[in-house]
Amino acid sequence: AQSVSQHNHHVILSEAASLELGCNYSYGGTVNLFWYVQYPGQHLQLLLKYFSGDPLVKGIKGFEAEFIKSKFSFNLRKPSVQWSDTAEYFCAVHPGGKLIFGQGTELSVKP
Amino acid sequence: EAGVAQSPRYKIIEKRQSVAFWCNPISGHATLYWYQQILGQGPKLLIQFQNNGVVDDSQLPKDRFSAERLKGVDSTLKIQPAKLEDSAVYLCASSLGPSAKDTQYFGPGTRLTVL
């Protein structure tokens, strides 16, 4: 069965630190990949997406993610986090038919 | 533009009781989804509608859960009877179509506590 694994359950960083959240998926075919974010008290919303082409994709608020097909990975990065990036981040794969989410990573940024 | 609306936002019930959740998708969105998000986990798709037809309900516990989207707009999700393990946030989402390229927009969710 297809699945998505996020490496860290809770990450705590200080402002200006660099961020990398890991995401691995199990699916051998063509995949569509997403990162969603849920800020405290807000709806789940799309951060960025990858369908094809350049494996480095840029999203909102300075986030980017890199698709590495050989590693079945789609890690999320940001060079310098801000307190306002405190949120829960979900990686998801859409192998055809439906979105399958990872378990989420809670990011806490200390001012 | 208005987002996906859900009600109620919170619900507390006793086990074996029934409960219903309502969702109003973004206007013009043909595809509607219901997800269950248990604490500490990512959302899991329960059912997907395309207009008023069911596309995927493979993970819907059909002995106790039911959902409908009669006129292809609003939708209701019902649990009868509820079990303790149904405690979760129930998210509704909508998109223009069922393609992966059609962004899913999520509502605020209904937090259900079953005692």
Q: What is the pLDDT of residues A63-101, one digit of tens each?
A: 999 999 999 999 999 999 999 999 999 999 998 778 999
pLDDT at B1 over 70: no
Interchain contact, B56 vs A43, CB within 8 Å = no
Interchain contact, B56 vs A104, CB within 8 Å = no
Query: Domains along chain A?
Result: 3-110 (2.60.40.10)
Q: What is the pLDDT of residues A27-73, one digit of tens each?
A: 877 889 999 999 999 999 999 999 999 999 999 999 999 999 999 99
Q: What is the pLDDT of residues A15-38, one digit of tens each?
A: 999 999 999 999 877 889 999 999
Q: Which residues of B touch A46 (CB under 8 A)?
A: 103-104
A34, B95 Cβ separation under 8 angstroms = no
Q: Is A43 on the interface with B (CB under 8 A)?
A: yes
- What is the 8-class DSSP label of residue A15? T
Phi, psi of A3 (to 5 degrees): -150, 160
- For residue A90, the tally of other CB atoms under 10 A from its CB is 26
Token digits for B115? 């005692």
Residue A63 C-alpha from the chain's centroid: 9
Interchain contact, A45 vs B106, CB within 8 Å = yes
Coil vs helix vs strand at A69: helix
Instruction: Report which of A38, A29, A21 is spatially closest to residue B35, judged by C-alpha positions.
Output: A38
CATH of domain B5-114: 2.60.40.10
Interchain contact, B100 vs A51, CB within 8 Å = yes
- For residue A7, the tally of other CB atoms under 10 A from its CB is 15
